[in-house]
Structures are given as C-alpha cells and as structure tokens.
Structure 1
Amino acid sequence: MPSYFTGLLFGLIFIFSFGPGFFALLQTSVQKGFKKAIFLALGISLSDVLYVALAIMGLASLLEKPTARMWMAIVGTVVLIAYGLYSWFKKPKIYQEKQEADTELSYLKYMLKGFVLNGFNPFIVIFWLGIIGLVAVNYDYSSGEQIYFFVGVLTTILVSDITKAFIAYRLRAMVTPKKILILNRSVGVILILFGIQMIYFLFNNFLID
C-alpha cells in the first residue's frame, strides 16, 4: 500500500498538463454540464488505464510497433482536426439545468469521446511507456506494488480532471455567449494545432526515410 500513496503524490506532477483532453473537458463542463464532463474525464482515464494495463502485462511491445503507432497517429490526427473544426464552427451555448434530457446513451457518448480523444494519441502511449520505464529503474517494486503505484497515479489524475471540470462548471455564470464563442474557437485552434503536431510526428517517423 505505501506504493499507492507514492503514486498519489507522483500523480501531482501531471495536474498542470494541458493536452487535448484538458481543453475538451473545460468546454464540455461549461457547455454541457458537470455530469457529462465527469464521463468525458472517465473516458480519458479509461484509455490511460488500458495503456498502463497493457504495459504492466508485458504487452507494451504491441504499442511500440511502428505500424500500430502509425495508425494511432493517423486516427488521432483525424479526430483532433475534425473535433477542432467542429469546435470552431460550433454555435455558442451555455449549459442550463434540465435544458436537455440526460440519458445513459448521452453519458456513454461523452465517455467514448474522452476515450477516443485521449486513446488515439500516440504521445499518450509514449508518455505512459516512459513513466513505466522510469518507475522500473527508480523503484524496486514487485508487480503487485507497480499496480498499486499506477492506481495511485491514475486516481490523482482523474480527481484533478474532475476538479478542473467542476471549477469550470461553477464559473459558467460568468460566461457570456461571446466568451463561449471565444472558448470554442480557442479550443478549435488548439486541437487543430495538436493535429498538425501529429502530422509532423507522422511524417518525421513514418513517411520520410
């Protein structure tokens, strides 16, 4: 169990990470409500859990194969740029309580969105493989202790994501349609830039000898 608490503390390092998921999380919380943002965060966390589990089970080599990384980068590029363009053209809309029916399907849609947005990002794979390598070198953990450690890390990251979404939700009263438009377009530009970065990653690693 001490490894779990070490993981909780280790996860604090990533509280201020600002990837595509972070901006989608803020946008969802302001425009669709806190509950849907929670499910988006759960989807993001689920993709992290998948990669950590694969690595711990010794299947990291599957993620390191050039073909797998190339296709992840292609799908990730399409997802980021498509969602970025959607955000740019999206009409400004502030969430109001009970303005739209909350169904299990709508919550699952946001969980899937979070999973895809985070899961098809090859940089996330590289990130987790790097962390796993770092832990293997610096901590003399058994396989069980490694699991506890990463459960701690993932718990901290999930709680911090939900906290960010809650803060954004509480501040929505200060948000006007004009500010929402700026938010949408800012998120759109940021996601498109992440997509362009992914294109560079593709060309640099797979398409240019």
Structure 2
Amino acid sequence: MQLEVLDAVIKGVLVGLFMAISVGPTLFAVIKYSMDNSYKAGLAFVLGVSFSDFLYVTIANVAASWLIVLGKHGDMIAYIGSAILIIVGTAGTLRKMKPKRPAKEAATISGAHYVRIWASGFIINTINPGVIISWLAAVSATANKTGGYRLILFGTCLVLILSIDFLKVFLAEKIRVLLTPRRLIYVQRGSSLIIACLGALLLVKTLMSHGT
C-alpha cells in the first residue's frame, strides 16, 4: 500500500513538472500580468489556470468521454484559441507605454479587474489543445488504477503545478522591481509579442494539419 502511494506521488510529481515547466502562452501571460500590474494580478491569473486544470482532471476522471468529444473538436478549439492569443498579444505589443519606474508597492486595481484576469487565465488554459491532450493522456495511462491512486497522483500534480505557477509570479514581481523603466517596457512588449506568436504558430499548425 505504501509503495502504491509512493508510486502515485512520484508519477504525480513527474506529470506536474512536465505540465508546469512546458513553455506555453500561460507562462508569458503570467509574466505580462505580473509586470503590468502586480503579483496579485499574476496570482489571479494562475488561480484561473488552476481552476481550469482542476475541471479538466475532474471531467477526465468522471466522464472521460466528454474530454474525448472536445478532442474531436480540436481544430475549432485551436482556431478560437489562436485568435484570442493573437488579439491579446497584438494589443499588448501595440499599446503605447511611457517609461515609468515600477512602484515598490503593489498597484491598486478593482475587484472586477481581478475577476477579468482570473477569467483570462481560465480561458487561455481551457482553449489550449495541448492541455486537453496532456490531461487525456495522463488519465488514459491511469485508467486501470484505483480511485485512491488517481486521487493521490492528480492531487499531487495539481498542487505542484499551482506551487510552481506561484513561484513564477513572485519571480516576475522581483524582476519587475529591479528593471529600469525602459527595460520593463521591452519585457512587457516582448511577453505580449511571444503570446501573439504562439497564437500564430497554433493557427499555422492547425491549417497545415488540414493540408496533410
């Protein structure tokens, strides 16, 4: 029994590390929100991402057929996702910014703004086809395991992903305070540009898949 628990924890850590370290739009979005606003905005974003992951894990374990249906509509999801990423990234890249030294204290923003940031984290993660495929693969690989085993594995995985995302937020906040005003603008625009490029790459990849 102890060996089974240890095996579940180890596999949960491996899956969690893979999901958390994989470079995708969420990583650069975390940097963007933390740089533009404060660590609180970054936390709101990653909590939205985490809630999306939690829903995927729950759906995949309780009703895997629903996730398979989403996988069959992967092209439509990819088109929607790429459009959102391109729009968000382009808007951030083209937005006029004046050199301004970042404040030592967190910026004050409204509760509604936090809700919008949380929703953007949820949406960006939910429409990412890679997330659907990864969770479906993880659930399929543990289909013959007990409910307790899967609970430990995916619980460990989700906690680790959220912990690493929190670390990304606070690292971004530390960097934000140390950067010069002009370099801060470069980082903000660079993060936005990367988000737009990831959206464009997703769109091109989806279009090319129809040509093969």
62 and 94 in structure 1: CA distance in 2 versus 1, 3 angstrom threshold: farther
Residues 1:50 and 2:55 aligned together? yes
- TM norm structure 1: 0.85
Alpha-carbon distance in 2 for matches of 1:14, 1:98:
29
Query: Any idea what SS the aligned residue of 1:154 has?
Result: helix
Residues 1:125 and 2:128 aligned together? no
The residue number in structure 2 matching 1:88 is 93
The residue number in structure 2 matching 1:184 is 188
User: Hey, which bits of structure 1, 4+ residues long, moved more than 4 A?
Assistant: 92-95
The residue number in structure 2 matching 1:208 is 211
Q: Taking every aligned residue pair, what percent have the same amino acid on both sides?
A: 26
The residue number in structure 2 matching 1:196 is 200
Residues 1:72 and 2:72 aligned together? no
Alpha-carbon distance in 2 for matches of 1:173, 1:186:
17
Alpha-carbon distance in 2 for matches of 1:98, 1:53:
34
Alpha-carbon distance in 2 for matches of 1:99, 1:35:
9
Pick one of 164, 167, 172 that aligns with 2:171. Answer: 167
Alpha-carbon distance in 2 for matches of 1:152, 1:165:
20
Residues 1:104 and 2:106 aligned together? no
Alpha-carbon distance in 2 for matches of 1:54, 1:87:
33
- TM norm structure 2: 0.84
Gaps of 5+ in 1: none
User: Alignment length, in residue pairs?
Assistant: 202
Which has the larger displacement, 154-163 or 142-151? Answer: 142-151
